[in-house]
Amino acid sequence: MSLPLNTEVRMLKGVGPQRAELLAKRGIYTFEDLLACLPFRYEDRIHFSAIKDVRPGVTYTIRAQVASGSAVQSMRRRDSVYHLLVRDETGSLACKFFHGGYLEGRLKPGQLLVLHGKAEIDRLRPARVEMVNPQMELLSAEGADSTEVGRIVPIYEAMGTFGSRSIRRAVYMALQNLPAQIADALPAGLRERLGLPSRREALIAAHFPPAGTPLDALNEFRSPAQQRLIFEEFFLYQMSLALERRTQRKENAPAFVVREERVREALKRMLPFKPTGAQKRVLAEIAADLEKPVAMNRLLQGDVGSGKTIVALESAVIAIENKCQAALMAPTEILAVQHFLSAGRILGRAGYRVELLISGMKPEEKAAAKERIRTGEAQLVIGTHALIEDEVEFARLGLVCIDEQHRFGVLQRKRLMDKAAKLGQAPHVLVLTATPIPRTLALTLYGDLDVSVLDELPPGRTPIETRLTSEPHLNGVWEFVRGEAARGRQAYVVYPVIEESKLELKAAMEEYERLSRDVFPRLRVGLLHGRLASEEKEEVMRSFRANELQVLVATTVVEVGVDVPNATVMVIEHAERFGLSQLHQLRGRIGRGAEKSTCILVGPQRMSEEARARLETMVRTSNGFEIAETDLQLRGPGEFFGTRQHGSLGFNIANPLRDRAVLELARREAFALAEDPAQAGALQDVLRALPPQWSRRYHLARVG
């Protein structure tokens, strides 16, 4: 009997109402949802290793019987350690499970089980080999059914009390009931040209691989079935982006005049310095977009200090000279104020009216600003989320700039764009990010955008020296800060949290008190963190910029947008708690003047290998793109920005880092098909017809 893929999982034998409720919490309601949960590992249970052949340092899969087992209270741990002895016809093997008290009473002599793990030398008995915390699965008393042995066996991540073995049986039953034909989102011609199996074949082979499938390929997600499903996930996502981009290009946008002498002269007047070659190249790319009557959608990325803001201001001048307003939205009030001050210095002397709009303004100031925006008196409007409030109206918004785009949601960006659309034309959009993004991730995050890269720093920047030290050497660090202050320079001291927490981390507020009182009693020390009121933040930053404060104790609120050329020292305590890209952004707050600057990373004497690798990368290089690539390698795409951005990184099977070649292939195919009107229309219908869970799972963009 065949059952459609939208059949509820509770219909499967062994699932029932309770487990169905557990699965529902994971977004699994139907056979389709269940089959989308691929195994994370595969074991060869056709050929088991004999216990007599076990050697230390090698990973084995062993089929054996329980000989004995007991839980022993650990002297150094709160929980007990479970000691298990198993045997096969060739010998015995000891196993140890930390925090294994839950196994007491569950394992009985004679029970069949499969163990998978790395063999190690027993530290207490060097002559004995053991397995520590191996993967373990009980087999049925009859010697296991066809889903457990005699084949390559899929291993699933447990879902609460629904363990791998139970999931495997449920998946097996769902596959047994698959209809002979199931919907396939990939066009038949595309599948045939690329040699991809059908969706039905891929699902069966990905869950229960046929004998002879190389185990290494399966565990590296390189089997034909897995690659087909990975391609499908990338293709659907990229197709939705391609169709959205195609729709955007049809939207009517103001075609700006760029090459006229008055516009060129306006750009020359505003520039406070000679632009770099990279800035000229990027501005030319933007100007070419702005001349077209279709909406620009461009990502401008560059390293810290590469001049993204000046390029954004040049773009704003082009819009203003074409009788349009420009808006620049920043994620924090500190960054918005910093942009407002910079724009005021650069554009103010050229006679342009720059307006600030943030939530922390006094009601009467805010009302007056909104009125100037509504009438068009405000030519460049800089603000935070306050810009997308319903009551904010523009006279003629022609250019939208979004700074640090990864901190905003897609809907927030769209709401600002809609303010221009209400006036009858779509705005040009320039997205800026100071977090260099590796190409693979840029294709995933910003697949609907053209990309410009500022890969050149302005001349005169002195390289920043980065040092790694540990807490016992802090006295020397503070002495160095005092020396810099004596030379008239300033310093940042950054902490990961504002107040004391259970994480036993030093906190900015407590350390501010201690540093002011005990370490720098003769220096003027300030405190800056996210909970301060807008006026307080602004006053602290004004004092620091004016050199009225010599040391600024802060949290990561200074990560972006703070520009104080006189600051030459950045001390980051608990540096191991920060991501690489975040450390790079913090380091970018110094080295903005001609004086030599020093970044000092303070970590514990003992830290994990990954943490040490991150910090040593910071010491080795100041190249933001190299750092971003390393950060992506170490932390994975889902955590690259510290938070998962909805609609970009939450792939079910695919991994943009591991599967970059498939991603690029899927992107090429999707964008090529989207350019063909006949194909695009058919695929648009396919995407619209997909079940809602597909849209959620594959994070498809809205297809109109």
First to last CA, the chain: 38
Residue 703 has pLDDT above 60, yes or no: no
Residues 576-599, mean pLDDT to the nearest whole number: 87
DSSP per-residue string spanning 113-171: EEEEEEEEE-SSSTT-EEEES-EEEEPPTTS--TTTSSSEEEE---BTTB-HHHHHHHH
Instruction: Specify the 3-state DSSP secondary structure of 339.
Output: helix
Residue 682 has what pLDDT?
Answer: 74
User: And the tokens for 553?
Assistant: 């104790």
Per-residue DSSP letter, 405: G
Residues 387-405, mean pLDDT to the nearest whole number: 88
pLDDT tens-digit readout, 4-49:
888 888 888 878 888 888 888 888 888 988 998 999 999 888 888 9
How far is the C-alpha of 74 from the C-alpha of 70, rounded, in Å? 12
Please state the length of the chain.
704
Between residues 74 and 473, the one the model is more confident about: 473
Q: Are 567 and 580 in contact (CB under 8 A)?
A: no
Residue 520 has pLDDT above 90, yes or no: yes
Residue 101 has pLDDT above 60, yes or no: yes
Residues 82-106, mean pLDDT to the nearest whole number: 91
Residue 547 has pLDDT above 90, yes or no: yes
How far is the C-alpha of 379 from the C-alpha of 228, rounded, in Å? 51
Give Cα separations from 351 to 116, 208, 270, 309, 312 (angstroms): 72, 70, 10, 19, 17
Residue 291 has what pLDDT?
Answer: 94
Residue 645 has what pLDDT?
Answer: 40
503-536 CB burial, b ≥16 within 10 A, e <16? eeebbbbebbeebbeebbeebbbbbbbeebebee
pLDDT tens-digit readout, 272-312:
678 889 999 999 999 999 999 988 989 898 877 788 889 99
Q: 555, 580, 582, 552: which is closest to 568 by C-alpha?
A: 552
pTM greater than 0.75 (yes/no): no
Give the confidence band of 206 by pLDDT, cuts at 50, 70, 90. Answer: very high
Q: Are 624 and 495 in contact (CB under 8 A)?
A: no
- Beta-bridge mates of residue 96: 83, 132
Burial class (CB in 10 A: 0-12, 13-18, 19+), 134: buried
Residue 559 has what pLDDT?
Answer: 64
Residue 408 has what pLDDT?
Answer: 61
pLDDT tens-digit readout, 596-654:
999 999 999 888 888 888 899 999 988 877 887 777 777 665 555 443 343 345 578 88
pLDDT tens-digit readout, 640-694:
544 334 334 557 888 887 888 898 899 899 888 888 877 777 777 777 766 665 6
Residue 445 has what pLDDT?
Answer: 63
Least confident of 184-198, 435-449, 486-500, 532-546: 435-449
CA atoms within a 13 Å half-sphere pointing along the CA-CB vector of 12: 32
Residue 126 has pLDDT above 80, yes or no: yes
User: And the tokens for 88?
Assistant: 């096969």
All structural domains of the chain: 47-149 (2.40.50.140), 261-454 (3.40.50.300), 464-621 (3.40.50.300)
Between residues 436 and 704, the one the model is more confident about: 436
Give the confidence band of 370 by pLDDT, cuts at 50, 70, 90. Answer: very high
Helices and strands: H and E segment counts in the chain: 23, 21
How far is the C-alpha of 252 from the C-alpha of 504, rounded, in Å? 55
Residue 447 has pLDDT above 80, yes or no: no
Q: 351, 366, 357: which is closest to 328 by C-alpha?
A: 357
How far is the C-alpha of 375 from the C-alpha of 45, rounded, in Å? 74
Residue 145 has pLDDT above 60, yes or no: no
pLDDT-above-90 percentage for the chain: 40
How far is the C-alpha of 343 from the C-alpha of 349, rounded, in Å? 10
pLDDT-above-70 percentage for the chain: 88
Residue 503 has what pLDDT?
Answer: 60
Give Cα separations from 24 to 176, 510, 653 (angstroms): 22, 44, 19
Q: Which residues contact 83 (CB under 8 A, 6 or more apart)?
A: 69, 70, 71, 72, 94, 95, 96
Residue 66 has pLDDT above 90, yes or no: yes
Give Cα separations from 592 to 333, 444, 460, 478, 572 (angstroms): 21, 32, 9, 22, 18
Amino acid letter for position 396: R
Q: What is the mean pLDDT of the chain?
A: 85
User: And the tokens for 681?
Assistant: 């229309």
